[in-house]
Amino acid sequence: MAGGRIFRNMSKTSAYAAASAKAPLAPWSFERRELRGHDVMIDIKYCGICHSDIHQARDEWGGSIFPMVPGHEIAGVVTAVGGQVTKYKPGDHAGVGCFVDSDRTCPECSSGLEQYCDGGLVLTYNSKEHDGTPTMGGYSERIVVDENYVLRIPGNLPLDGAAPLLCAGITLYSPLRHWHAGPGTQVAIVGLGGLGHMGVKLAHAMGAEVTVLSQSLKKQQDGTRLGADHFYATADPETFTRLRRGFDLIINTVSAGIDWNQYLALLKTDGVMVVVGAPEKPVPVNAFPLIIGRHSLAGSAIGGIRETQEMLDFCGKHNITSDIEVIPIQQVNEAYERVLRSDVRYRFVIDMASLSAGRV
Ligand code: NAP
Ligand code: ZN
């Protein structure tokens, strides 16, 4: 081995996969590609369970590719690198988020907004490489990714708590930065789940005044601990009267269809509601809650590579990780059901060592 370079052939990789939209996840294996010049091989230690994994494994957004190995909140250790890799070496703590390639030449890619690459984006799973190979995600023992799509996890952050930063963290960090959350701004986070709880931590660390809008008051104590200044139940109609015209920025993380009109009415003049939750069915929006107060309704998807690294470094500096419940992979189907019941505090993270423990 010279200069930290190790070469390996295609490797059989244990995983959990969904065989179809109706099937529970079950043990499966497949081949990861041989290391190319710029590839990094990562031994996956932990992978978060994002609600998007459930939407896609159950084909709720349409067009799912099966068999599917979900998982795009990947944290692990580099075990091998290709001959031209300069950014990583074996032993580094590395992460992979929601995409593993893009066309690299379009205006979006050139400006660090790879997540909006039009046509060439390769998602970490449920997608195809440019050569047509289906991608397989993080519920697996290792992954091979081009170094330009790998993130560095700060050394002070534990890999289990850091894994959810790769999707939940960046999905909230990006709109909070883009719409200038900070001292003097009133930010509401709708839905205290995986994304929402990261939103509370990040907005608080940025200096904003943070309000949680949750279905009930059950998570109120947690909200305060996570950094929320205020907490309201959306099941109480009084909440929508009391908070009318109260926020500069609302980030809606809810995975189900809710009445967005009610929330638009909570914006101050020129306020923005950013939708990051992706419900299965369309949500009707009326003109008046937009017209009155010159409100904007926007959307946002994860973040580019540069911004994801900035978010990880911000979390390293502020010691921010996700609040997690670590599970063996054998409990993944049960965990999905609990996510659907909003019964997760606040992210399930799979301990990938359990894959080999369960191997026959
Ligand atoms: P999650 O952990 O299940 O959190 C969603 C939260 O929404 C729940 O904890 C719950 O919070 C609230 N909620 C759920 N059902 C509700 C209902 N019927 N009415 C009102 N509130 C409800 O999910 P997640 O992983 O944070 O993901 C949230 C959504 O974001 C998903 O649709 C996911 O696909 C999407 N997503 C988008 C991006 C992006 O780039 N835009 C990235 C990742 C995920 P309370 O208990 O506090 O009410
Ligand atoms: Zn996700």
Q: Examine the pLDDT at 38 and tell me if it is beyond 60.
A: yes
Q: Examine the pLDDT at 359 and tell me if it is beyond 70.
A: no
The values of phi and psi at residue 93, to 5°, are: -85, 120
Question: Which tens digit of pLDDT belongs to each residue from 70-126?
Answer: 999 999 999 999 999 999 999 999 999 999 999 999 999 999 999 999 989 999 999
Measured at the alpha carbon of residue 171, what is the angle toward residues 335 and 152, in degrees to the nearest 5? 90
Distances (CA, A) of 226 to 173, 178, 323: 15, 22, 9
Rounded distance from Cα 106 to ligand 2 centre (Å): 24
The model's confidence at residue 1, banded by pLDDT at 50, 70 and 90, is very low
Least-confidence region, from 11-15, 42-46, 182-186: 11-15
Nearest ligand to the CA of 322 is 1
The pTM of this model reads 0.96
Q: Examine the pLDDT at 358 and tell me if it is beyond 80.
A: no
Mean pLDDT of 204-223: 98
Gap between the Cα atoms of 35 and 37, Å rounded: 7
Q: Examine the pLDDT at 9 and tell me if it is beyond 70.
A: no
Please name the residue whose Cα sits nearest to atom 12 of ligand 1. Answer: 191
The model's confidence at residue 45, banded by pLDDT at 50, 70 and 90, is very high
The model's confidence at residue 10, banded by pLDDT at 50, 70 and 90, is confident
Top mutation candidate among 255, 273, 347 for ligand 1, by most atoms within 8 Å of CB:
255
Top mutation candidate among 254, 338, 344 for ligand 1, by most atoms within 8 Å of CB:
254
269 residue type, one letter: T
The values of phi and psi at residue 110, to 5°, are: -65, -25
Question: Which tens digit of pLDDT belongs to each residue from 242-257?
Answer: 999 999 999 999 999 9
Q: Examine the pLDDT at 131 and tell me if it is beyond 60.
A: yes
Rounded distance from Cα 168 to ligand 2 centre (Å): 6
The encoded tokens of residue 217 equal: 């008051």
Q: Examine the pLDDT at 3 and tell me if it is beyond 70.
A: no
Q: Is 45 left (phi over 0), alpha (psi -120 to 50) or beta?
A: alpha
Rounded distance from Cα 48 to ligand 2 centre (Å): 8
Rounded distance from Cα 340 to ligand 1 centre (Å): 9
Kindly state the percentage of the chain with pLDDT values over 70.
97
Top mutation candidate among 51, 258, 345 for ligand 1, by most atoms within 8 Å of CB:
51
Mean pLDDT of the chain: 95
Mean pLDDT of 47-71: 97
- Report the pLDDT value the prediction gives residue 7, as an integer from 0 to 100: 46
